[in-house]
Amino acid sequence: MNLAARWSLDPSVTYLNHGSFGACPSAVLEAQAALRLEMEREPVDFLVKALPPRLDAARQALAMFLNADPQDLVFVANATAGVNAVLRSLAFEPGDELLLTNHTYAACRKTVEFVTARSGARVVVANLPFPCRHEDEIVAAVLQCVSARTRLALLDHVTSPTALILPIARLVADLRARGVDTLVDGAHAPGMVALALSDLDAAYYTGNAHKWLCAPKGAAFLHVRRDRQAALHPTVISHGYTAGFHAEFDWTGTFDPTSWLCIPTALQYMEGLLRGGWPQVMATNRALALQARALLLQALAVAAPCPDSMIGSIASIPLPAAAAGAPGARLDSKGLHDWFRERGVETWLYPHPLPLLRISAQLYNNLGQFEKLAQLLGEALNDR
């Protein structure tokens, strides 16, 4: 089965960067186009009359996938918007501490800096090891930074630069035992790892549907524990203010809701691509990511930076220093990205604190594409 044909990706590009923005199957985009046409034929009927029950239906479908109660779930445009909604709803004071890690997604780190600059609260950064030998090292690094002044911990479920699956259930439970709420940035997690948000019981969890769930861009969610919902508001206050958790987030002004409405379509479509449904989709992507990682580690003669158990559908690989006369010796991470792109490969590189190459595996990928990347890495880093 040629699964790559189910996407609209440029066939002349070896696309190994699903993790950055996702990629939506053509059939799901067609469903979105039909919804947009329906909306424009009669905008009032669509947005006023038809939209509320359709949002509830989409929320129900997503909640079932996330093993969550739909009462605790609202839609947002992306995980960064979910992080902003939480951080900008809470009242912090001088002396309060917000705990994050050195692997925190840069946009969310900037949100924390914005909030603490206005409130006088303090940012505390837990330094997670990378390379990392065991998840116990992650837990220890986070917990040793907790103090009596820690108000909130912002933790990635799957880190963006290093692609580590953090032991989020352990961290949420240990932090709660110390009286600390957790805001989980699960941007990459839905569709990569199995989720049970009701059991996780984090105060706040936000995730994208446009990445591994393959919904259209602009589809994401925020899950808020029932006892924390009254204090939460979207970053845009509109007609739903004081009308309840769902009402506030479901309508923040005129917008295109079709990305949210297509989440059930994406869930069903991706589930149907493999006989084993979503468990097989996630297992297939992870198996390819591990195969590709092993191939590249061997080609570069570098050790695995973390155990296989901490890898999902993305993996980050430390790059060795380039030989003096090699292209990589004169290029920064952006320049090296462009060098790969000129040769028909789209991948992702991270510059700090050590150069990392992050690869993604989705159903449209195959091992031969990563073999091509390995060959190009040899050309980029070796003087030959």
Residue-wise pLDDT tens digits, 98-122:
999 999 999 999 999 999 999 999 9
Please state, for a pLDDT cut of 90, what percent of the chain lies above it: 95
The pLDDT value recorded for residue 351 is 84
Q: How many CB atoms lie within 10 A of CB 180?
A: 21
Residue type at 171? L
The pLDDT value recorded for residue 383 is 64
The pLDDT value recorded for residue 2 is 86
Which residues, at least 6 apart from 296, have a Cβ–Cβ distance to it below 8 Å? 317, 357, 359, 370, 373, 374, 377
162-175 mean pLDDT: 98
Residue 150 and residue 143 in contact, taking contact as beta carbons nearer than 8 Å: no
Check pLDDT > 80 for residue 354: no
Check pLDDT > 70 for residue 32: yes
Question: If DSSP codes are grouped into helix, strand and coil, which group holds residue 384?
Answer: coil
Question: Please, what's the b/e burial string for 14-52 (b: 16 or more CB within 10 A of its CB; e: otherwise)?
Answer: bbbbbbeebbbbeebbebbeebeeebeeeeeebbeeebe
Which residues, at least 6 apart from 225, have a Cβ–Cβ distance to it below 8 Å? 72, 201, 202, 203, 204
The pLDDT value recorded for residue 18 is 98
The pLDDT value recorded for residue 93 is 96
Question: If DSSP codes are grouped into helix, strand and coil, which group holds residue 2?
Answer: coil
Query: How far is Cα 345 from Cα 380, in angstroms, rounded to an integer?
Result: 13
Query: How far is Cα 312 from Cα 43, in angstroms, rounded to an integer?
Result: 41
10-39 mean pLDDT: 98
The pLDDT value recorded for residue 9 is 98
Q: Which position has the higher pLDDT, 245 or 1?
A: 245
13-18 mean pLDDT: 98
Query: How far is Cα 162 from Cα 124, in angstroms, rounded to an integer?
Result: 20
145-168 mean pLDDT: 97
- All domains of the chain in start order, with CATH: 3-16+275-381 (3.90.1150.10), 27-268 (3.40.640.10)
Check pLDDT > 60 for residue 270: yes
The pLDDT value recorded for residue 165 is 98
The pLDDT tens digits of the residues spanning 183-228 come to 999 999 999 999 999 999 999 999 999 999 999 999 999 999 999 9
The pLDDT value recorded for residue 181 is 98
74-97 mean pLDDT: 97
The pLDDT value recorded for residue 348 is 95
Query: How far is Cα 265 from Cα 364, in angstroms, rounded to an integer?
Result: 18
Token readout for 225 is 């524990």
The pLDDT value recorded for residue 56 is 98
Chain centre distance of CA 26:
21
Token readout for 319 is 């790059």
44 Rama class: left (phi>0) / alpha (psi -120 to 50) / beta:
alpha
Residue 145 and residue 124 in contact, taking contact as beta carbons nearer than 8 Å: yes
Check pLDDT > 80 for residue 124: yes
Where would I find the beta strands (DSSP E) of 245-363?
Answer: 314-318, 345-346, 348-350, 356-360
Mean pLDDT of the chain: 96
DSSP secondary structure of 342-355 = HTTEE-EEE-SSS-
265-291 mean pLDDT: 98
Q: State the alpha helices, DSSP H only, in 67-196.
A: 79-87, 106-119, 135-143, 168-177
